[in-house]
Each structure stands twice: as C-alpha cells, then as structure tokens.
Amino acid sequence: MSQAIKVESVLEKKHSNWKRKISTSLKEIFIEKKLLLFLVGLLLGRAVILYNISPFAIAFLATAWAVYQRRMFVVVAFVLFGAWTYSLEHAVFITISTVVFTIFVQFLKDRNNMRVLMLFIFLSTSLTRLFLYSLPSQITVYEFAHLLVEGILGIVLFLIFMQSLPLLALKRYQPALKNEELICIIILLASILTGFIGWEISAVSLEHVFSRYIVLILAFMGGAAIGSTVGVVAGLILSLANVANLYQMSMLAFSGLLGGLLHEGKKHGVSVGLLVGTFLVGIYGEMQTLTSTMLESIIAILLFYLTSNTLLKQLSKYIPGTTEYSFEERKYLQKIRDVTAQRVEQFSAVFEALSKSFIQSSEKTNDQERIDETDYFLSLVTEKTCQMCFMKKRCWQNKFDDTYSLMEDMKNDLVLQSEIQAINLKKFENHCVKSKQVIDTMEKEISLLKINKKLKKQVMESKKIVADQLKGVSDVMDNFAKEIVKERQRHEKQEIQIIRALKQMDIHLEKIDIYRLEKGSIDIEMSIIFKDYHGEGSKLIAPVLTDILQETIIVMEEEISPFPNGISFLTFGSAKQYVVETGVAVAAKGGGLISGDSFTTMELGKGKYALAISDGMGNGLRAREESMETLRLLEQILQTGISEQVAIKSINSILALRTTDEIFATLDLAIINLHNAVLQFLKIGSSPSFIKRGDEIIQLEANNLPIGIIEHVELETLSEPLKSEDILIMMSDGIFDGPKQIKNNDLWLKRKILNMKTDEPQEIADLLLEEVIRGEQGVIRDDMTVVVAKIKKHKPKWATIPVTHGEAK
C-alpha cells in the first residue's frame, strides 16, 4: 500500500514538473520572444471594417513603436504579411501608409510625444488614401469623408492600444485591471477577431469560433456584466467588418449574459448559456445556417474545456468582482497592513532603546562616583590652602594616605551633619599646621558641593521620568502594532459549534470570522442572510454565543441589509461583567459659580472605568485652572493606553517645571476594572475615600504629596476588590473636613454614609453635600465635590439559550 502511494506521489510530482516546464516554455516563446505580439500584428494587418476602412494596422505599428523599441522590423513584416493575405488593394494601402509612417517617425526624437505621434498616424493614413483615390479620377466628397474617418479612427485606436497592448506582457504591478483597461482589452480582442474574417474551415468561420470562445472565457471569469459587454463590443466590431455578421452582436451579447448568469455552474453552466443563446438566435435563419452556427459554438466550447483552469484563475484575479480579484485585493491590503505594523514596531523599538539609554546613563556605580566627587572636592580645597604651604611635601607626599583620609572624613561629616565631629577635628588639628584655614575653605566649598549634588539628583530623576515616558509610548505603539496585524485565528471546535447551533435555529450563516477568544476580549464577525431582520443578533445569536463560549456576549456593531435576503454584517464581543452608575454633587466656596475643584468620569479602553477629583491650590479661577489642567492631561494620557503611574509622573513633571510659581494640585484617581471589579486607586494629597458594602464601611487612604510640589514623586498604588452593589464615595477636602465642630471627621462621615436609606449614587452625593453644608449653618467655607459610583453586575437583556454541545464527527 505504501509503495503504491509513493509511486503515485512520484507520478504527480513528474506531472507537475511537466506542466510547469510546458507553461514556462510557452511563456518564453509567446511573451519573452514576442511571438504573441507578432501574431497580433498579423491579424490586425488583415483587419478591415465597412469594406475598406483599415485604421488598425497603423495604430498598432505606432503603439508597438512607442512601447517596444526592439524587433520593429519583424513586427512590420508580420503586419505587411497579414495585409497581403487579405487583398491586393488593401495590401497596397497598408504598405504605402507603413512607409509614410516610417519616414515620419524618423523625425520624432521623443517616443513619449503622443500628440505628434497621433498627428503622424492621421497623416499616414489620410495622405495615402488621398494619393490612391486621386490616381483614377478626381476625389469625391464621400472619399474625402472616408479618409477623415479613417484617420480619426486610427488616433482613437492608438489611444486604446496604448492602454491594452502593454498588458499582453503579463508584467503587472497593480493588483487588478482598471475598468478603462478592461474595456480597452475587450476592444483590442474584438479588433483582433476581425483579422479572422475570410478564414473558414468546412463552412466554419474562425472569427465566429474565437469570438464565442472569448465570450465564454470572460463570462466564466467576470459574470453576466462582463460577458454581455464583451458580446456587445465583439459583435458590433464583427458586424462592422462584415454586414452578414450583424446578427452576431445580439447572439454574442445574449450568450454572454446567459453564460455569466450561469457561471456558478462552472464551465458546464457557461457552455449551456452559449448553446441556448446560439440556438434561440439561430432558429430565425435557415436550417443549414443553424447547423453551422451550432457547430461553431460546439467547437468554441471544446476549446473552452481545453483551456487550463489554472490559467483562467490566474486571469480572473485581474477582473474586478471575481473571487480571485477579492483575494488578491485582500493580500495587497494585508501586505500594506503588515508593512505599517512593521514600521510602528520599529518606532516602538526606537522609543524603547531611548528609554534604556536614559536608564543606563544614570546607572553608574555609587563607589566610583563618590571617589570622583571626593577627589574633585579635595582638589578645590588644596588648591586654595595647601598649594603654598611649606608643609605640603610632608602632608601630600610623605603622609598622603593619612591626609586624604582625614580630609575625606571631615568632608563626609559636613555633607551628612553640616559640622565636623570633634574627634575628626582634633585629629586634623594635630596633623595640619593650617587646620583653621583648611576647615574654613571646606565649609565654603561644601555648600557648592551640596548644590551640585542636588542638581545631579534632579537630573537623574528627570532622566528616570523621561525613560518611563518613553517606555510608556513604546508599549502603546507596540500594542497598536499588534492590533493592526490582528488576523483571523483558527478556532475550529468553537466555529463548528456556532455553525451547528445557528443551523438548528434556521439562521443562514454565510461567513464567520473568529479573531479572538480570550476572556474579556472576544471578537467574532459574521455575515448572515436575513429574510426580515427583527433583532435576531441580540435576541438569538448573542445568547447562543454566550452559552457556547461561557461568557456574556453582546452585539458590538451591526450593518443590516435594507433588502430582503441581503447579507448583513454583525460583530460580537465580550460584554462587561460590571457596570458603573455615577452621581456627582458640587458646591463652590461662598456659594460662588467657580469652584477650585474639578472632576471627571471616563471610560477607558479594554473595559476600565476611571473617576477622578482634583483640587487646585486655593479657590477661585486660578485653582480651577490648575485642577482642570491636571484632569485634562490625565484624561488624554490615560486614553492613549499609558499606565496611570507614568501618566501621573508626567503630569507632575509638567506642573512642576512649567512655572516658577508655587502651584500644586491634589488628585484622587480610581480605576475600576469592569471585567473583575478590582479597584485601583491613587491618592496624591487627596482626602480618603469610602466603600459602602451593606452595613460595612471601608476607608481608603494613601500618603502622597500633592502634584507639583516636588519634581519626583514616589507613587503608592493600592487595590481593593469590589463586589456587586458596592458604593464608592470620593470627595475633596471641603467635604472630608466637614463641619468645624466635628472632631473626628472619619467617624462622622462613616456614620452619615451608613445611615443613608438610599443606594442611588446621585441621591447619596446630594445628601452628603447637604449634610456638610447644614453642619456649617448654611455657610460653604471651601470648595466641595463628591463623586459616588455604584458597581452593579451586568445582566444581559436576553437570557442565555442553551445548545447541545457535541463533538464534530
């Protein structure tokens, strides 16, 4: 058995190699060696319409001269050979016009000068006709109109051939043909067909066979629209070439339409369309004519069946509207997407490298830095004291180690304690004869050293902040690159379950793409045909997906077809496990209109919800500007995907460095994960927050300085798991400080929150603000802001529909 499989594999491999060799040889002969171009020239040399109008040959020669610079002599020879096979009168005209055109182009230096080339085409045909018509008698008005029409048609055909003839080289850089190029190709093919006129084999006209063969191919590849268009154009030009072929236009157009409509039946369907069209048009003629025309169609069908499917598929990718064209277009877009993602990843790597370089430049060894610092400091002191001392040699040559050690100890005492310890002072006085002068100089230089150390520390902290910011930008860009290249993944088991479940519900699924199945980030796209849509996406499909994937699924987007039985597009994704309801109450100091407090609530990407309160220094407009600026920066940075720690450090550095005024603001930030209800909070100089959980009150607080006071802040991030129906209460210091007569604000607030009978966030915010103002006898002594959020378990609108989970057989 295995031996037979091996033999079969070897035979298939040989067959494949044989087909490849033949394909390569044919391509080399017809394309590389220009044999196809020569055959086209032969047929266009014979092409004539309306009995004696022949603009094809000169238009073709001009195109070949402009596009192909070599082997023009062979092209001219094939064109003249074709003309001489048609008739003597036609051959004389083509020969003379070719000679005239050849003389004209000798004076043309630029091949790309289309206007002059079109003029030469017109003059070549018109002057030749003028010469031939004037030989036997005086030229008539009809003959003059004839030569004008022939010259103008030559120009038009030249423009058409310039669009279509280069495509015969099969070296395309665009993913598909443009509509104009497709029409030009059809006209070129129809023009070539006129060269077959007069060639017959046993009453079978070759132009009829090949015209139907071309209609079969294009109807098979492009459908009804392309098939009927080819039929009309080919039939029109054939009827102009021979009036007896007038019926061909209707027959080819009808056959192309029928074949295109039946192209889903592959070659059989298109062939049946041609036979039906031929028979229906042919029955209006004589029986002998019907027999010959049916024979011509059968021969065309035989040639069609002999045409390689591989070749047809390769050609189909250039025809708009075909499956192969769509596949090539997707490949092209995928390539662009991959290149874009690669560039974004490169930028991400650059930012990461910059971040690492900042970190590395600030990570010198502390020991070496301390030694360098001591050497530099002592050199400054000795330069002003020991340089001119008569005991210099004894101290710095004979007793170098003792001198250096004593002065280093005194320097460390001054740095750490701002004064020299008595024991070190006594040792130095016994060692140095100018101890008082040295100590005075050290005390003066130590202040400069401290300033220098402070500046170095600030620079190091700034470098660390910049490194964190660059790393944050790098992470955001890296995540963006991964989103760009998001590709359909293979999830066969779930795909089979979904298809089977929808089939049981009699839902016609056209296509399903499962991009991601990770918990919390499910991404599924479907193309579905609905006879009449009544919300089946959210009512039926989403509950079924919820049961299969064991996670709540909702409709994220839907594009419903306005027509019955049209294709609708639906996108399904993970629903948030929790939802947040908020309430806010605000009062300005003294009942004014402008409060120094600001707040924001925003939904971040990836299922996170943020609440923030900022209190600017003081009250009024200036404080409001600072608090609003803090929240504005926070909101913009967080929505880019940068972590909250990096965001707050960035805001802190901006507020600390942008002005010399003493400006700071507090920040109370809470971020709730809507998938697992975990609360992360950062408190920068802000008041504590509270969580109400039934009859229990949980207090949240952290110790961080307000933003803008110092340039580098060490943030303490805390987290707290929440439960459904928990109520989070955040407030500014105006609320937390409460009435002045209250000594223990924490207990007072906990009692007030616990005694509230309502669990509506807005009502809690209003009642808490009202309690504080009443406790102050109606006086608002400070800006007051309270933000309340209630966390609730998300309940889908439609219940889960259980389906039978069976393994694929």
Count the neighbouring beta carbons within 10 Å of the beta carbon of residue 582: 16
Beta-sheet pairing, 566-574 with 578-587: unpaired
Cα 686 off chain centre by: 41
Spell 717-742 as b/e; 16+ CB within 10 A means b.
Answer: beebebeeebbbbbbbbbbbbbbeee
Stretches in the chain below the pLDDT threshold 70: 1-34, 69, 166-177, 285-288, 321, 358-369, 479-480, 483-490, 605-606, 618, 620, 640-664, 703-716, 796-809
Tell me the one-letter amino acid at 759.
D
Taking the C-alpha atoms of residue 731 and residue 739, their distance in angstroms, rounded to an integer, is 15
Count the neighbouring beta carbons within 10 Å of the beta carbon of residue 454: 10
What are the backbone angles phi and psi of residue 680, rounded to the nearest 5°?
-115, 130
Intra-chain end-to-end CA distance of the chain, in Å:
26
Taking the C-alpha atoms of residue 765 and residue 776, their distance in angstroms, rounded to an integer, is 17
From 453, 174, 339, select the one nearest 166 (Cα to Cα).
174
- The token pair that represents 344 in the structure block: 């974004």
Report the pLDDT value the prediction gives residue 505, as an integer from 0 to 100: 86
In angstroms, the Cα distances linking 568 to 111, 256, 505, 535, 801 are 52, 30, 17, 12, 22
From 444, 449, 584, 574, select the one nearest 518 (Cα to Cα).
574
Tell me the one-letter amino acid at 517.
L
Tell me the one-letter amino acid at 394.
R
Tell me the one-letter amino acid at 580.
V
- The token pair that represents 95 in the structure block: 């020969």
Taking the C-alpha atoms of residue 80 and residue 46, their distance in angstroms, rounded to an integer, is 9
Taking the C-alpha atoms of residue 159 and residue 163, their distance in angstroms, rounded to an integer, is 7
Report the pLDDT value the prediction gives residue 787, as an integer from 0 to 100: 92
Helix (H, G, I), strand (E, B) or coil at 171: coil
Question: Tell me, what DSSP letter sits at residue 29?
Answer: I
Taking the C-alpha atoms of residue 75 and residue 34, their distance in angstroms, rounded to an integer, is 9
Report the pLDDT value the prediction gives residue 173, as an integer from 0 to 100: 41
What are the backbone angles phi and psi of residue 609, rounded to the nearest 5°?
-130, 130
Average model confidence (pLDDT) for the chain? 78
Query: Tokens 């296509």 correspond to what residue?
Result: 511
Helix runs in 262-286, H state only:
266-282
Cα 562 off chain centre by: 28
Strand boundaries in 13-120, DSSP class E = none
**Angle 179-194/206-222 helices, nearest 10 degrees?**
160
Report the pLDDT value the prediction gives residue 660, as an integer from 0 to 100: 43
Answer yes or no: are the C-beta atoms of 603 and 626 closer than 8 Å: no
Write out pLDDT tens, residues 356-373. Answer: 776 665 555 455 667 777
Cα torsion through 658, 659, 664, 670, rounded to 10:
-10
| Gyration radius of the chain over CA positions | 44
From 654, 684, 649, 655, select the one nearest 668 (Cα to Cα).
684
Rounded to whole angstroms, the maximal C-alpha distance in the chain is 139
**Angle 435-484/400-417 helices, nearest 10 degrees?**
70
Report the pLDDT value the prediction gives residue 8, as an integer from 0 to 100: 54
From 69, 72, 42, select the one nearest 57 (Cα to Cα).
42
Contacts of 587 (CB under 8 A, 6+ apart): 595, 734, 769, 773, 780, 783, 784, 785
Task: Transcribe 329-394 into DSSP letters.
Answer: HHHHHHHHHHHHHHHHHHHHHHHHHHHHHHHHHT---HHHHHHHHHHHHHHHHHHHTTTT-TTHHI
Contacts of 447 (CB under 8 A, 6+ apart): none
pTM of the model: 0.52
Taking the C-alpha atoms of residue 320 and residue 226, their distance in angstroms, rounded to an integer, is 10
Answer yes or no: are the C-beta atoms of 579 and 792 closer than 8 Å: yes
Report the pLDDT value the prediction gives residue 728, as an integer from 0 to 100: 92
Task: Transcribe 667-719 into DSSP letters.
Answer: EEEEEEETTT-EEEEEEESPPPEEEEETTEEEEE----PPBTSSS-----EEE
Query: Tokens 């070549």 correspond to what residue?
Result: 124
From 414, 421, 423, select the one nearest 443 (Cα to Cα).
414
In angstroms, the Cα distances linking 567 to 110, 223, 524, 642 are 53, 20, 16, 39
Task: Transcribe 69-88 into DSSP letters.
Answer: -S-HHHHHHHHHHHHHTT-H
Answer yes or no: are the C-beta atoms of 688 and 701 closer than 8 Å: yes
Query: Tokens 């004869």 correspond to what residue?
Result: 433
Taking the C-alpha atoms of residue 500 and residue 306, their distance in angstroms, rounded to an integer, is 40
